[in-house]
Chain A
Amino acid sequence: MTTFDAPAPAAPLPLRRAQPFFIQIPSAIWFLGRDRDYWRLMIRGVALLAVTLGIYRFWLTTDQRRFLWSNTEILGQTLEYTGTAREILIGFLVAIAILVPIYGLIFLATLDLGLIGSLAGIIGFVLLSLLGQFAVYRARRYRLTRTIYRGMRFHQTGSATAFALYALLWWVLVVLTLGLVYPWAQAGIERFKMRNTYLGNLQGRFEGSGGRLFREGFVLWLVTVGPIVLGLVIFATQLDFKLLEDIAANITNEDELKRIFTDNAGILVLLAFGASLLTWPLMTGFLLYPVFQAITMRWWASGLRFGDVAAKSSLRVGQVYGAYLGFLGWTSLVSIMGSFVAAIVAVLVLGVGTATKFFEDAGNLETVGVAGAIGGVMLYVILALVYSATYHVKLKLAVWRMVAQSIDLTNAGTLDTVSSVGAPASPVGEGLADALSVGGY
């Protein structure tokens, strides 16, 4: 009898690799995967995406999830993703069969010149938004039922239609209040999702409060959206609308415009102010997005509950900025390399072409033009794909890892006493989500 007498794997988790930190802080959740393996997966995946004009995405998504799930270790046990590409491909085809008639009807309705025609756009938008939220919920159900932890399946109850209506209502309010109710919308939507989420017989719950997120994020809102509100108020009170109509009426008449502007110098200042207000949220939004992401992720993770198991995230804003800086660094590197290759090729072609008098024939020139256009498109596609791979590895994976590892669990012992419930769900929701481009991990 041969016996492999390795010590029974106990608490210090054997699969964790040495981390580049001097002191290793024990953490409830750990991510085991290495960037190198994800790079390999993503580069191969995006190359195949290009060759198959995107059909390969079902396999790539499945590979990504397998990697992310199986490397996420919670209290010493990793998650397992059991979904297959074949399932989501079939789900997608079913979704197409549902969507094509809907798109067709909307198209036909827009042809009607009467009331229906003018409303078709709005009705179509509302219908597709509802369907989008429906798909978000069903896709989540699919992913949960394909996630297994300690031999227990996750599952999700609740009606996707009810969710779609509920979520859409919140989003309408978010738009109407210029984002002010966003925290309560997120809290409400997460509560809906989590109270319908189960690990075996252990029910989930969301305890993040909208008020808390509001307090944490209000400064962000003030900095990005606040100036717009202020600007709108100033515009509404200060702007001479009669004058604006004059300008619009004389937009092609330069002399008249000149006269209006010399007579009313104030309006130019006001209009310039308005234009700068529009660029402001773009700029601050770009710079502050990592802060926003850090705050919402930390708030979300800290609100997750399963039975009496409670999560608490200690994600720091600096960490998320680090991930973005890393991503920016890598994309700059890729861009520099890309331009370098393009420049070398261009110089070579021009040099050889001039030396051999190849360009003097008009026919040759045309061939070179077409080849150049094809080359340009190819370079663009290759660069875009490398960017996409970089984005997945240096940003999405990095954020996944730092959010996971920022989480601490209390009453984790409960996770030993779950019993099994729940059956796998249909992948149609996932397909709908893909066809409507509302998918995620």
Chain B
Amino acid sequence: MTTSGPGIFFDGVTSARHDVTVELSTDTLLVRSVDGRTLADWPYDKIEELSAPQGLLRIGRRGGITLARLEVIEPNLAAAIDDRSVPIDRSGTAARRDRRKVVFWTIAATVSLVLMAIFGVPELATRLAPYVPLGAERRLGAAVDAQIRSLLDDKKAGARFECGNADAEKSARIAFEKLAGELVIAADLPIPIRITVLRKSEANAITLPGGIVYVFQGLIDKSETPDELAGVIAHEFGHVAHRDGTRHVLAHAGTALLFGMLLGDFVGGGAVLIAARTVLQSSYSRDVEATADSYAVNLMEKAEGNGRALGTILDRIAGGSHPIPKVLLDHPETKDRIAAINGMARPAPAKPMLNNTQWAQLKRICSG
């Protein structure tokens, strides 16, 4: 039995429109012109359904040399073609199955990329950091330094931003260099250290790649003994020794690449990425800080200082309760850190690292 009906045919050789009769024989679909010529003879298993507006069935020959197209509007004829040809599936079941597969695999890819960002990237950065040549690290440090300096120097103090250069500060500087020098010798780092005091009121110290350490005036004001100040500096040396600055830059570049390029910046995605990164960053830096703490305790004891002093000053600076939820904090819970430090450190030695006169001098390093 043969079924037939009207269609529009384009032979793929020219753009001329042919009004044709479509004949559905047992094995093949025949396209006949008005004068009875056979324009196409397509086996049912060789035809494919093509993208078309609703209410139109557009088919072509799969793997055909030309782009011959047959368009059928008549619903019963379209249904009859659908019945006979396996590849044509107007109910969309196969398309939905394919789409579900795509959705499953894209979600799987997303999960794997996110896991990569959480565990893979920091691990990779840690493994790669030792292979970054020290020369490159110092260049990186110099580039970062210029930016950080202008960022920190919000009052535009310029040259006066560094403490210890004025005449009145010279003796303080000598005391400071003695204290730092003892730690430098004990640490024996592979990279020269440049340590500077900045006129900045926060009680903090930071380390940049390439052995650049900044101690803020506020930290010196808050320190009650030389060993406390030395403890914080030793902690910063820990970051230098572990090359945390370089690791940070590598990890940052890695996540930026993963999130920024592979995952698109779809609308609203920016917020998700910032949120995700904040949480990631803090969990990552908690480990880093804990490692630097244990390095500081060891270094302090090598330099014959008090390993517990770091805990004492931490308690003074950040001992108060935090209104910020734990997951968002940059540094580990202060109490945990202090407990860990006290657990590692031996009891304090009899002598502080500087005598009282030297310590009184050092405290005046930003007085000029």
Contacts and interface: CB of A to CB of B under 8 A. Distances in A.
Interface string B297-330: 0000000000000000000000000000111000
Nearest to A112: B139
Query: In which size bucket is the chain B interface?
Result: 35 or more
Nearest to A416: B16
Contacts of B50: 80, 82
Given A15-B56, A366-B326, A369-B325, A419 B13 contact: yes
B15 A150 contact: yes
Contact of B15 (A5, A69, A70, A200): A200
Contact of A8 (B10, B13, B19, B99): B19
B168 interface: no
Interface in A62-82: 66, 69-71, 73, 77-78, 80-82
A107 B253 contact: yes
Nearest to A33: B53
Contacts, number: 198
B264 interface: yes
Contacts of A14: 73
A392 B79 CA distance: 33
Interface stretch (B227-235, B237-245, B255-263, B350-358): B255-263
Interface string B245-271: 000000001000101011111111101
Contacts of B17: 77, 150, 416
A48 B106 CA distance: 9
B191 to A, nearest CB: 16
Contact of B14 (A46, A69, A373, A420): A420
Contacts of A159: none
Interface string A415-428: 11111100000000
Contact of B268 (A70, A150, A381): A381
Interface residues of A, number: 79
A418 B103 CA distance: 40
A381 B272 contact: yes
Interface stretch (A292-300, A310-318, A335-343, A383-391): A383-391
Contact of A252 (B6, B156, B327): B156
A370 interface: yes
A57 B266 contact: yes
A384 B271 contact: yes
Interface of A: 1-10, 14-15, 32-33, 37, 46, 48-57, 59, 66, 69-71, 73, 77-78, 80-82, 85, 96, 99-100, 107, 110-113, 117, 148-153, 199-200, 252, 366, 369-370, 373-374, 377, 380-385, 387-388, 415-420, 434-435, 437
Nearest 6 Cβ contacts at the A-B interface: A384-B268, A151-B10, A54-B264, A4-B5, A418-B15, A388-B267
